Amino acid sequence: MLKIGVLALQGAVREHVQSLEANDVDVVVIKRPEQLQEVDGLVFPGGESTTMRRLINKYGFFEELQQFVNKEKPIFGTCAGAILMARELIGDEDPFLKAMDIAVERNAFGRQRESFEATLKVESVGDDIEAVFIRAPIISNVGQSVDVLATFNGQVVAAQQGPFLACSFHPELTEDRRFHQYFVDIVRKQQPVVG
Ligand code: GLN
Protein backbone atom coordinates (compact mmCIF):
# COMPACT_ATOMS: atom_id res chain seq x y z
CA MET A 1 0.00 0.00 0.00
CA LEU A 2 1.15 3.54 -0.66
CA LYS A 3 2.66 5.29 2.33
CA ILE A 4 1.99 8.98 2.77
CA GLY A 5 3.43 11.11 5.57
CA VAL A 6 1.89 14.09 7.30
CA LEU A 7 4.44 16.50 8.75
CA ALA A 8 3.42 16.71 12.39
CA LEU A 9 5.21 19.77 13.69
CA GLN A 10 2.15 22.03 13.83
CA GLY A 11 -1.31 22.48 12.37
CA ALA A 12 -4.26 20.28 11.42
CA VAL A 13 -2.38 16.97 11.39
CA ARG A 14 -5.21 14.68 12.53
CA GLU A 15 -7.61 16.01 9.89
CA HIS A 16 -5.11 15.37 7.11
CA VAL A 17 -4.51 11.86 8.45
CA GLN A 18 -8.26 11.15 8.35
CA SER A 19 -8.67 12.55 4.84
CA LEU A 20 -5.79 10.41 3.58
CA GLU A 21 -6.92 7.24 5.36
CA ALA A 22 -10.31 7.61 3.68
CA ASN A 23 -8.39 7.15 0.42
CA ASP A 24 -6.91 3.77 1.38
CA VAL A 25 -3.29 4.65 2.02
CA ASP A 26 -0.98 3.96 4.93
CA VAL A 27 -0.46 7.21 6.77
CA VAL A 28 2.70 7.95 8.72
CA VAL A 29 2.67 10.80 11.23
CA ILE A 30 6.10 12.34 10.67
CA LYS A 31 7.77 13.39 13.90
CA ARG A 32 11.39 12.61 13.09
CA PRO A 33 13.30 13.61 9.92
CA GLU A 34 14.41 10.05 9.07
CA GLN A 35 10.76 8.95 8.80
CA LEU A 36 10.64 10.92 5.54
CA GLN A 37 12.69 8.16 3.93
CA GLU A 38 9.92 5.60 4.36
CA VAL A 39 7.09 7.51 2.69
CA ASP A 40 6.14 7.93 -0.99
CA GLY A 41 4.52 11.35 -0.55
CA LEU A 42 4.11 14.06 2.06
CA VAL A 43 1.41 16.45 3.23
CA PHE A 44 2.65 19.74 4.53
CA PRO A 45 -0.20 21.09 6.70
CA GLY A 46 -1.27 24.64 7.41
CA GLY A 47 -0.44 26.51 10.60
CA GLU A 48 1.89 29.47 10.85
CA SER A 49 4.71 29.42 8.38
CA THR A 50 7.25 31.39 10.44
CA THR A 51 6.78 29.02 13.39
CA MET A 52 6.80 26.02 11.10
CA ARG A 53 10.08 26.94 9.43
CA ARG A 54 11.63 27.48 12.87
CA LEU A 55 10.50 24.03 14.00
CA ILE A 56 11.74 22.46 10.75
CA ASN A 57 15.17 23.95 11.33
CA LYS A 58 15.21 23.25 15.07
CA TYR A 59 14.39 19.57 14.66
CA GLY A 60 16.68 19.07 11.67
CA PHE A 61 14.09 18.39 8.96
CA PHE A 62 15.39 20.78 6.34
CA GLU A 63 17.90 18.52 4.63
CA GLU A 64 15.54 15.53 4.44
CA LEU A 65 12.82 17.77 3.04
CA GLN A 66 15.16 19.12 0.43
CA GLN A 67 16.10 15.57 -0.58
CA PHE A 68 12.41 14.79 -0.87
CA VAL A 69 12.02 17.70 -3.27
CA ASN A 70 15.15 16.79 -5.25
CA LYS A 71 13.89 13.23 -5.69
CA GLU A 72 10.59 14.68 -6.98
CA LYS A 73 8.61 12.82 -4.35
CA PRO A 74 5.12 14.35 -4.25
CA ILE A 75 4.29 17.02 -1.67
CA PHE A 76 0.90 18.60 -0.98
CA GLY A 77 1.27 21.95 0.80
CA THR A 78 -1.87 23.50 2.27
CA CYS A 79 -1.90 27.15 3.36
CA ALA A 80 1.26 27.64 5.47
CA GLY A 81 2.57 24.48 3.74
CA ALA A 82 2.09 26.19 0.37
CA ILE A 83 3.95 29.27 1.62
CA LEU A 84 6.96 27.13 2.54
CA MET A 85 7.02 25.49 -0.90
CA ALA A 86 7.19 28.76 -2.86
CA ARG A 87 10.16 30.01 -4.84
CA GLU A 88 9.40 33.57 -3.78
CA LEU A 89 7.55 35.26 -0.92
CA ILE A 90 6.30 38.72 -1.84
CA GLY A 91 7.38 41.38 0.68
CA ASP A 92 8.27 38.82 3.29
CA GLU A 93 10.91 36.44 4.61
CA ASP A 94 13.28 34.54 2.36
CA PRO A 95 11.67 31.64 0.56
CA PHE A 96 12.14 28.24 2.19
CA LEU A 97 11.93 24.97 0.23
CA LYS A 98 11.53 26.52 -3.24
CA ALA A 99 9.88 23.34 -4.50
CA MET A 100 7.47 25.20 -6.79
CA ASP A 101 7.91 28.03 -9.24
CA ILE A 102 5.27 30.18 -7.53
CA ALA A 103 5.37 33.53 -5.75
CA VAL A 104 3.17 33.69 -2.67
CA GLU A 105 1.84 36.58 -0.63
CA ARG A 106 1.01 35.72 2.98
CA ASN A 107 -2.23 36.83 4.67
CA ALA A 108 -3.24 38.37 1.38
CA PHE A 109 -7.01 38.38 1.84
CA GLY A 110 -6.77 41.10 4.48
CA ARG A 111 -8.15 41.51 7.96
CA GLN A 112 -11.81 41.72 7.00
CA ARG A 113 -11.56 38.32 5.43
CA GLU A 114 -9.46 36.52 8.03
CA SER A 115 -11.46 33.42 7.46
CA PHE A 116 -14.22 32.53 5.01
CA GLU A 117 -15.57 29.73 2.88
CA ALA A 118 -16.20 29.54 -0.83
CA THR A 119 -17.25 26.91 -3.35
CA LEU A 120 -14.61 26.58 -6.03
CA LYS A 121 -14.05 24.76 -9.26
CA VAL A 122 -10.74 22.94 -8.86
CA GLU A 123 -9.36 21.61 -12.14
CA SER A 124 -9.21 17.77 -12.22
CA VAL A 125 -10.65 17.62 -8.69
CA GLY A 126 -14.25 18.86 -8.81
CA ASP A 127 -16.61 21.70 -9.75
CA ASP A 128 -17.98 22.20 -6.26
CA ILE A 129 -15.12 22.02 -3.78
CA GLU A 130 -15.92 23.64 -0.44
CA ALA A 131 -12.81 25.69 0.41
CA VAL A 132 -12.07 26.97 3.93
CA PHE A 133 -9.67 29.93 3.95
CA ILE A 134 -7.95 30.92 7.23
CA ARG A 135 -5.57 33.91 7.05
CA ALA A 136 -4.85 32.52 3.64
CA PRO A 137 -2.07 33.34 1.20
CA ILE A 138 -2.53 34.13 -2.49
CA ILE A 139 -0.41 32.55 -5.20
CA SER A 140 0.38 35.80 -6.95
CA ASN A 141 2.60 34.52 -9.71
CA VAL A 142 3.09 31.15 -11.37
CA GLY A 143 5.93 30.01 -13.63
CA GLN A 144 5.43 28.47 -17.07
CA SER A 145 5.59 24.89 -15.86
CA VAL A 146 2.96 25.45 -13.19
CA ASP A 147 -0.71 24.60 -13.78
CA VAL A 148 -3.33 26.77 -12.12
CA LEU A 149 -5.98 24.50 -10.61
CA ALA A 150 -8.26 27.05 -8.95
CA THR A 151 -8.89 30.77 -8.65
CA PHE A 152 -11.02 32.83 -6.31
CA ASN A 153 -11.97 36.36 -7.39
CA GLY A 154 -9.32 36.14 -10.08
CA GLN A 155 -6.55 35.18 -7.62
CA VAL A 156 -4.79 31.84 -7.88
CA VAL A 157 -5.51 29.66 -4.84
CA ALA A 158 -4.43 26.20 -6.03
CA ALA A 159 -1.60 25.15 -8.34
CA GLN A 160 0.39 22.11 -9.39
CA GLN A 161 3.87 21.66 -10.75
CA GLY A 162 4.45 17.99 -11.58
CA PRO A 163 4.48 16.11 -8.26
CA PHE A 164 4.05 19.27 -6.18
CA LEU A 165 0.64 20.57 -5.23
CA ALA A 166 -0.19 23.75 -3.29
CA CYS A 167 -3.41 25.36 -2.17
CA SER A 168 -4.27 28.44 -0.12
CA PHE A 169 -7.16 26.80 1.67
CA HIS A 170 -7.74 23.80 3.98
CA PRO A 171 -9.21 20.77 2.18
CA GLU A 172 -8.67 18.71 5.37
CA LEU A 173 -11.29 20.75 7.24
CA THR A 174 -14.24 19.46 5.22
CA GLU A 175 -15.64 15.97 4.76
CA ASP A 176 -14.88 16.13 1.04
CA ARG A 177 -11.91 13.83 0.33
CA ARG A 178 -11.55 14.59 -3.38
CA PHE A 179 -8.54 16.90 -3.13
CA HIS A 180 -6.65 14.33 -1.04
CA GLN A 181 -7.71 11.66 -3.49
CA TYR A 182 -6.21 13.75 -6.29
CA PHE A 183 -2.94 13.95 -4.35
CA VAL A 184 -2.95 10.20 -3.66
CA ASP A 185 -3.34 9.66 -7.43
CA ILE A 186 -0.30 11.88 -8.06
CA VAL A 187 1.71 9.80 -5.55
CA ARG A 188 0.52 6.57 -7.16
CA LYS A 189 1.51 7.74 -10.65
CA GLN A 190 4.94 8.74 -9.39
CA GLN A 191 5.73 5.17 -8.25
CA PRO A 192 8.36 3.32 -10.28
CA VAL A 193 6.89 0.53 -12.40
CA VAL A 194 7.99 -2.79 -10.97
CA GLY A 195 8.67 -5.90 -13.09
N1 GLN B 1 -1.20 33.06 7.73
C2 GLN B 1 -0.43 31.88 7.97
C3 GLN B 1 1.02 32.10 7.58
O4 GLN B 1 1.36 33.11 7.10
C5 GLN B 1 -1.00 30.69 7.23
C6 GLN B 1 -2.38 30.38 7.76
C7 GLN B 1 -2.78 28.95 7.63
O8 GLN B 1 -2.00 28.03 7.41
N9 GLN B 1 -4.05 28.74 7.87
O10 GLN B 1 1.84 31.25 7.78
Torsion angle, CA of 168/172/178/183, rounded to 10 degrees? Answer: 70
Radius of gyration for the chain, computed over Cα atoms and rounded to the nearest angstrom: 15
Asked if pLDDT for residue 193 goes beyond 80, the answer is no
7, 107, 169: which to mutate for ligand 1, most atoms within 8 A of CB?
A: 107
Q: How far is CA 30 from CA 1, 12, 19, 104, 115, in A?
A: 17, 13, 16, 25, 28
The tens digit of pLDDT for each residue in 117-157 reads 999 999 999 999 999 999 999 999 999 999 999 999 999 99
Is position 141 within any domain? yes
Q: Which of 15, 105, 167, 170 is catalytic?
A: 170
Average the pLDDT over 36-41 and give the result.
97
Whether 129 has a binding-site annotation, put simply, is: no
Which residue has a Cα nearest atom 1 of ligand 1?
135
Section 68-79 average pLDDT:
97
Asked if the structure places residue 80 within a domain, the reply is yes
pLDDT at 112 over 60: no
Pocket test for ligand 1, best of 10, 15, 16, 48 (most atoms within 8 A of CB): 48
Q: Which CATH number characterizes residue 134's domain?
A: 3.40.50.880
195 domain-assigned: no
Domain with 23, as residue range(s), is 3-189
In a domain, 123, yes or no: yes
Q: Do the annotations mark residue 114 as ligand-binding?
A: no
Angle at 62 between CA 67 and CA 60, to 5 degrees: 125
Classify residue 194: in a domain, yes or no: no
Query: What is residue 114's predicted lDDT score, i.e. its pLDDT?
Result: 83
The number of distinct structural domains making up the chain is 1
pLDDT at 11: 87
Residue 91 falls within a domain, yes or no? Answer: yes
Query: Does ipTM top 0.85?
Result: yes
